[in-house]
Structure 1
């Protein structure tokens, strides 16, 4: 992992849930892939938890929202619900990495398109 990615701030907001060192370590571990790939472009990540059904524990009651701030983009947010918090974190982290990948791909595609238009606009052949 790059030094930049390892220093990326992750703000965990537990909402109505109690977090533990194990939960926080799980969040960091699950976001490690996104940091390795996109850490240089990311400025911050917020992770929000909520127990939707309270103490009843019925169905998918763990809710996780992850929001990443990526240079040059509006914040990217994803959400996941599951029967337990670890599964919700896992699903949200996968979704976040995919969403960041799509956003970065769009940025790269637009930059290449502008570069080609600029080059072909001068001489018409692209050879300048």
Structure 2
């Protein structure tokens, strides 16, 4: 799973932030590594440097093999909190999206169920 981190001009952190984001993505979303080819993490300061409530935004887009991209975002006062919130939302969204594939092909229906 490849992780690409993009930030706007108002986000500080550089390579250490990008490395932390990459490590956390791989750790938190490791169970999806067979399905997700790339993650794009976008970090931004909505208020462009001014302080305020929920002014940090993290948007994560997951490129899933054979499926449409799954995108989530989260806003918070701190970038780390926004990232953790977005990664949790992404895990739930991927569970739902990939679960549909599994259910569609793996469940018995009324027509195929074996009577006991």
TM-score category, normalised to shorter length: 0.7 to 0.9
**Corresponding residue number in structure 2 for 1:3:** none
- For 2:60, what is the secondary structure of its paired residue? strand
User: Paired residue for 1:29?
Assistant: 23
**2:2 match:** 9
Structure 2 unaligned regions, length at least 5 = none
Which has a greater percent of helix?
Answer: 1
Alignment TM-score, normalising by the size of structure 2:
0.84
Instruction: Calculate the aligned-residue CA RMSD, in Å.
Output: 2.0
The structure with the larger Rg is 1
- TM-score, reference length from structure 1: 0.77
Match of 1:76 among 70, 75, 79: 70
Partners of 1:40 and 1:52 in 2: CA distance: 33
Hey, which of these two has a bigger chunk of strand by percent? Answer: 2
Is 1:63 the counterpart of 2:81? The answer is no
**Number of residue pairs matched by the alignment:** 112
